[in-house]
Amino acid sequence: MKRKLLPLLALLLFGCATGPTFFSESYLAGMAAREFSTLKENMPVSSDPAGTAMVNRVSLRIAEAIGSEMPDAKWEFVLFEDESANAFAMPGGKIAVFTGLLKYVESDDELAAVVGHEIAHVQLHHANQRMSAEVLRAIGGVVAAVGTKDMESDDRNKILAAYGVGTQVGIILPYSRGHESEADRIGLMIAARAGYDPRAAIRFWEKMGVANPRSTPEFLSTHPSSSTRIRELEKAMLDALRVYEANR
């Protein structure tokens, strides 16, 4: 049974690594709109006029630059009062920035690097891919549980534990880091297309690296380290600068 189980698990995990999408984007956009509405009801919206204006200004300019690629987007930009240095974009054009992030942002160009990154996740269907990968992982877990049901309990528990840890560390976390790196590169181009200086992305991640030194090894994290991000952004910078010069 174990020999028959392993090829099937390998097939499932290979599918996970290649980025399948099982959900319609319209379904995800509707779900995102509901979640964003709930978020606005439960989290205070910032009353900072300068910060709100900055988020609206940068987000709108980027939305206009890529509008033809997201014709069904119902754009909404909100600055939430929260100390987390965070931002996110959701399918359908919902963009949230937390006030804690603005402590590290010194210019529109730097904020554009963050917003471009978050919108890149949406354009690349990363939410869909991650949800689909978790579906595959769950299916693999069921297959593993059924395929080992006649084994000794100690051996079975070891196999199931190895499946859980192995898929998390060997598949899900690298998958997430790959999405982050991809969104960094595409987000750099998005910001440049909107006329924002892509070199600001490196300045931003340098500050984030200093302010938030990593204690967890990169292979156990959902995100690349700041140094890895900067190195990959530098590789893409020449192309991004060409785009920037053409759109400034």
Whole-angstrom distance, CA of residue 125 vs CA of residue 90: 10
Token pair of 195 as six digits: 């006329």
User: Is residue 136 within 8 Å of residue 15, measured between CB atoms?
Assistant: yes
DSSP-assigned beta bridge partners for residue 101:
none
Closest CA to 102 of 156, 140, 48, 37: 48
User: Is residue 157 within 8 Å of residue 121, measured between CB atoms?
Assistant: no
For residue 3, with 0-12 CB atoms within 10 Å meaning exposed, 13-18 middle and 19 or more buried, which class applies? exposed
User: Is residue 184 within 8 Å of residue 229, measured between CB atoms?
Assistant: yes
Q: Are strands 87-90 and 76-80 parallel, antiparallel or unpaired?
A: unpaired
234 CB neighbour count, 10 Å cutoff: 12
41 is an active site residue: no
User: Residues 41, 76, 110, 118: which is the catalytic one?
Assistant: 118
Active site residues: 118
